[in-house]
Amino acid sequence: AQSVTQLGSHVSVSEGALVLLRCNYSSSVPPYLFWYVQYPNQGLQLLLKYTSAATLVKGINGFEAEFKKSETSFHLTKPSAHMSDAAEYFCAVNAGGTSYGKLTFGQGTILTVHP
Amino acid sequence: NAGVTQTPKFQVLKTGQSMTLQCAQDMNHNSMYWYRQDPGMGLRLIYYSASEGTTEKGEVPNGYNVSRLNKREFSLRLESAAPSQTSVYFCASSVGQGREKLFFGSGTQLSVL
């Protein structure tokens, strides 16, 4: 079975501050992990993807995430927030095996950026 | 580049009515998916299709049927709509199965009264 938990449904930061969005996963096999972003009234777009090649994954728009197996975490960070980063962010896992073909999403975290 | 196209964008139904949500992709992808998005629950998989002619139930298939008409098109049908099916529906596609990047449509906002 695979599952994802995102800690914090809302995160608020000031422009220029560090962004940290938390994601923990559960998987019985090495997982593929993803972060997607959803801007208002749009579909989801891929930010970055972990496929076991490297534990630190760099994505678009200055975001990155680190895979920590010991903590079963895949937190998303950005050193300096922009107003344009305001959106909803989803962590997702695919663990293959009987879950092959099925991507399980977390509950989402709404990021607000204050001037 | 159209990508994944969903129709309609908005729909209001009365309880018991039926309707079909249409989805088409022009990227020659093998896999297609239907998700529903509800506040605080993320996206939940309704059905997916790994290739033309095949479909498989996801996490929340009850009350829905799907058809993979050809490689491009994947439709979702509500035979007898219920208020619990009020949601935003997203179609997505990918080259392979689930471990590839998903490309999403812009969604259909459905209200069942």
Least CA distance to B91: which residue of chain A?
A43
Structure tokens at A58: 């760099």
Least CA distance to A103: which residue of chain B?
B98
What confidence category does residue B37 fall into, taking pLDDT thresholds of 50, 70 and 90? very high
Look over chain B and give the mean of its residue pLDDT values, rounded to a whole number.
93
The reply to whether B97 touches chain A by the CB within 8 Å rule is: yes
What confidence category does residue A1 fall into, taking pLDDT thresholds of 50, 70 and 90? confident
Chain A residues whose CB is inside 8 A of the B54 CB are none
Structure tokens at B89: 């529906």
* Mean pLDDT on B27-45: 92
Query: Shortest Cα distance from B92 to chain A (angstroms)?
Result: 9
Does the beta-carbon distance from A101 to B41 stay under 8 Å?
A: no
Contact A84, B82 (CB under 8 A): no
Q: What is the pLDDT of residue A31?
A: 83
Structure tokens at B17: 């009515």
pLDDT at A22 over 70: yes
Please state the length of chain B.
113
Least CA distance to B50: which residue of chain A?
A101
pLDDT at A98 over 60: no
HSE toward the beta carbon, residue B63, CA cutoff 13 A? 15
| B91/B104 Cα distance (integer angstroms) | 6
The reply to whether B45 touches chain A by the CB within 8 Å rule is: yes
Work out the end-to-end distance of chain B between its first and last CA atoms, rounded to an integer number of angstroms. Answer: 35
* Mean pLDDT on A80-109: 85
Q: What is the pLDDT of residue A29?
A: 76
Nearest to A102 among B41, B45, B107 (CB): B45
| A81/A3 Cα distance (integer angstroms) | 28
* Mean pLDDT on A80-84: 96
DSSP string, B52-104: TT--EE-S--TTEEEEE-SSSBEEEEESS--GGG-EEEEEEEESSSSSSPPEE
Query: Shortest Cα distance from B41 to chain A (angstroms)?
Result: 5
The reply to whether A40 touches chain B by the CB within 8 Å rule is: no
Does the beta-carbon distance from B43 to A43 stay under 8 Å?
A: no
pLDDT at B3 over 70: yes
